[in-house]
Amino acid sequence: MHLNLKPRKRLSSKKSSSRLGASISLVLFMIGLPILSVVGMEFLERGDLPETMQWITGNQPLFMLNVGLTFFLLAFVYALVGSLAISGSITTLILGLMAIISYMKVKMIGEPFFPWDILLNKESMDIASLVTGKAALIRICAIAAVILIVLALRWVIPRVTLPIIARFGLGLFSLYALYAFGIKTPLAGKILDHAGVNEIVWDQQQNYANNGLTLAFTLNVKNSIVQKPDTYSEQALAAAAATIQGASSVQQETAGVRKAKATLADGKQPNVIFVMSEAFWDPTLLENVTFSEDPLPTIHRLQQESSSGYLLSPQYGGGTSNVEFEVLTGNSMSFLPGGSIPYQQYISKPIPSLASYFADKGYKSMGIHSYEGWFWDRNNVYKQLGFESFKSSEHFDNPETKGYFISDAEVARNVINEVDKTENPMFIYTVTMQNHGPYDDPRYGENQFKATGNLSAQAKSILETYTQGAHDADQSLQMMIDHFKDLDEPTMIVFYGDHLPMLGMDYQVYKEAGFISTSDANKWSLEEIKKMHSIPLVTWANFDMPKQDIPVLSDSFLGAHVLDMLHMEKPANFALNAELAQQVPGLLSNLIVDQDGQLHATVPESAAPLIADYRNVQYDLMFGKQYLAAYLDHDYLTKGTQTGYNAEFGVPGAAPQSEAIGSQEAKPARAQ
pLDDT along the chain (672 residues), means of 10: 48 53 65 86 83 89 92 90 84 87 75 73 47 69 83 71 84 92 88 84 75 89 83 95 81 48 64 97 95 97 97 92 97 87 87 97 96 88 96 94 95 97 96 93 91 94 96 98 93 97 92 92 92 97 94 98 95 96 94 95 92 96 95 94 90 41 31 38
What pLDDT sits at residue 253?
Answer: 53
φ/ψ (deg, to 5) at 514: 80, 15
> Which helix (H) or strand (E) is 552 found in, with range?
strand 549-554
CB 318 within 8 Å of CB 499: yes
The confidence score (pLDDT) of residue 324 equals 97
Question: Degrees (nearest 5) of the Cα angle 321, 327, 330?
Answer: 120
Instruction: Look up the pTM and report it.
Output: 0.76
Residue among 271, 295, 318, 322 at smallest CA distance from 488: 271
Direct distance between the N- and C-terminal alpha carbons of the chain, in angstroms, rounded to an integer: 80
Q: What is the 3-state secondary structure (H, E, C) of 407-451?
A: CHHHHHHHHHHHHHHCCCCEEEEEECCCCCCCCCCCCCCCCCCCE
Residue type, 383: K
- CA dihedral of residues 495, 462, 103, 125 (deg, nearest 10): 70
Rounded Cα distance, 335 and 333, in Å: 5
Q: How far apart are CA 208 and CA 198, in angstroms?
A: 10
Give me the half-sphere count of Cα atoms (radius 13 Å) on the Cβ side of residue 165: 0
Q: What is d(CA 53, CA 57) in angstroms, rounded to the nearest whole number?
A: 6
Residue 323 is predicted with a pLDDT of: 97
List Cα–Cα distances, 383 to 304, 387, 653, 655, in angstroms: 37, 6, 12, 10
Give Cβ neighbours of residue 98 (< 8 Å, ≥ 6 apart).
Answer: 41, 113, 213, 214, 217
The strand ranges marked E within 288-407 are 289-291, 308-312, 364-369, 389-391, 401-402, 405-406
| Structural domain 234-636, CATH architecture | 3-Layer(aba) Sandwich (3.40)
**Residues 582, 243: contact at Cβ < 8 Å?**
no
Nearest CA among 494, 495, 498, 435 for reference residue 465: 435
DSSP-derived pairing of the beta strands 549-554 and 308-312? parallel
Backbone angles phi and psi of 80, in degrees to 5: -80, -40
Return d(Cα 640, Cα 621) in angstroms, integer.
13
Partnered with residue 540 across adjacent β-strands are: 493
Q: Are strands 271-277 and 491-497 parallel, antiparallel or unpaired?
A: parallel
Provide the 3-class DSSP secondary structure of residue 491. strand
Q: Where are the beta strands (DSSP E) in 154-257?
A: none
Q: Please, what is the Cα angle at 462 between 456 and 463, to 5 degrees?
A: 90
Q: Among 139, 81, 122, 114, which residue's Cα sits nearest to residue 219? A: 114
Distances (CA, A) of 497 to 105, 196, 459, 542: 21, 40, 22, 22
- Contact present, 392 and 431 (Cβ < 8 Å): no
- Whole-angstrom CA distances from 157 to 25, 151, 153, 344, 445 are 7, 11, 6, 44, 57
Residue 210, pLDDT score: 87
Indicate the domain borders of the chain.
Answer: 14-224, 234-636
The 10 Å Cβ neighbour count of residue 600 is: 14
